[in-house]
């Protein structure tokens, strides 16, 4: 009799646990349902170009400018997942946006803004002398329209998915790194640490100097940036030359299953960094190239 009572209690306990697990699962699903339901719909279309009006252009240096584009309403969001990019073109201008062969020029860019920046998005663009899109951005004036399609990209980020990121950026490759860093550091529930190595030719080539300095000042224990210049000014106390294995060892989190190294830069830099990381013991799954 006693055995039957114990068995009955055990069955009731197991049933209770099962119901509890179902309730937790349903509650979690409902929470994500409400989160997604209340999340504003993004303005991007992955299949079709949509046009956005340039409302402010700020010249940052002789060949770098910041472009702010209005979204349809003051509360609209772009809808670009963290670390992804979008295709940009000037196809809405009949006499612009084409190359010398008459073909539309389309190039990927990553905004420096997040969906927490409602009503607008911003691009920081470096305009190269021979760049296919650079000419069009140089000619762009407030009131002009940019054609945008997206989102695009393989990078998918969830808060806390790694303990630490090592970021290797060269030139304009800083834009996806800055976007990811902002998203992490501005999320109070995300404790991920970030170590950024940012390489350029000269000091004047460094993009987002002030913004990176603000992140380093606001999050001194979680965000570190180390600059490397090929042609440094007198008195420079950062890295000199190219990013070496020694610099990677000193300024990146050591190889581990809970870290990831992100890299984005010119092809020669990406190739060199891949070789250095492999030599230092970073497995392929610990790396991602934008």
* Residues with active-site annotation: 85, 109-110, 264
Spatial CB neighbours of 169, under 8 Å, sequence gap ≥ 6:
177, 196, 197, 198, 199, 263, 264, 265
Give the sheet arrangement for strand 259-264, strand by strand. 239-240, 223-229, 193-200, 164-170, 259-264, 287-289
Q: What is the dihedral of CA 172, 173, 174, 179, to 10 degrees?
A: 110
- Which tokens in the block code for residue 124? 């920081």
Short-list 149, 137, 133, 172, CA closest to 52 = 149
Spatial CB neighbours of 160, under 8 Å, sequence gap ≥ 6:
189, 190, 191, 192
Task: Tell whether omega for the bond before 151 is within 30 degrees of 0, i.e. cis.
Answer: yes
- Which tokens in the block code for residue 115? 């969906």
Contact 290, 263 (CB under 8 A): yes
């Amino acid at each position: 009799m006693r055995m039957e009572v114990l068995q009955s209690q055990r069955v009731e306990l197991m049933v209770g646990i099962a119901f509890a697990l179902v309730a937790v699962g349903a509650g979690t699903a409902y929470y994500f349902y409400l989160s997604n339901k209340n999340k504003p719909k993004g303005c991007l279309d992955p299949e079709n170009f949509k046009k956005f009006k340039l409302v402010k252009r700020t010249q940052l240096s002789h060949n770098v400018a910041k472009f702010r584009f209005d979204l349809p309403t003051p509360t609209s969001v772009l809808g670009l997942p963290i670390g992804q990019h979008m295709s940009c073109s000037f196809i809405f201008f009949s006499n612009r946006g084409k190359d010398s062969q008459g073909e539309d020029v389309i190039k990927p860019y990553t905004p420096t803004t997040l969906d927490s920046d409602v009503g607008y998005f911003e691009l920081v663009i470096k305009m190269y002398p021979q760049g296919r899109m650079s000419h069009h951005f140089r000619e762009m004036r407030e009131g002009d329209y940019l054609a945008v399609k997206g989102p695009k990209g393989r990078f998918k980020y969830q808060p806390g998915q790694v303990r630490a990121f090592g970021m290797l950026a060269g030139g304009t490759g800083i834009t996806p790194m800055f976007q990811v860093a902002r998203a992490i550091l501005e999320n109070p529930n995300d404790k991920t640490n970030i170590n950024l190595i940012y390489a350029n030719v000269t000091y004047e080539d460094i993009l987002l100097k002030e913004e990176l300095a603000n992140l380093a000042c606001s999050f001194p224990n979680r965000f570190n940036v180390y600059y490397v210049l090929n042609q440094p000014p007198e008195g420079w106390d950062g890295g000199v030359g190219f990013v070496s294995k020694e610099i990677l060892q000193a300024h990146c989190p050591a190889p581990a299953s809970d870290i990831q190294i992100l890299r984005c830069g010119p092809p020669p830099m990406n190739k060199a960094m891949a070789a250095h990381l492999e030599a230092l013991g970073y497995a392929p799954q610990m790396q991602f190239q934008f």
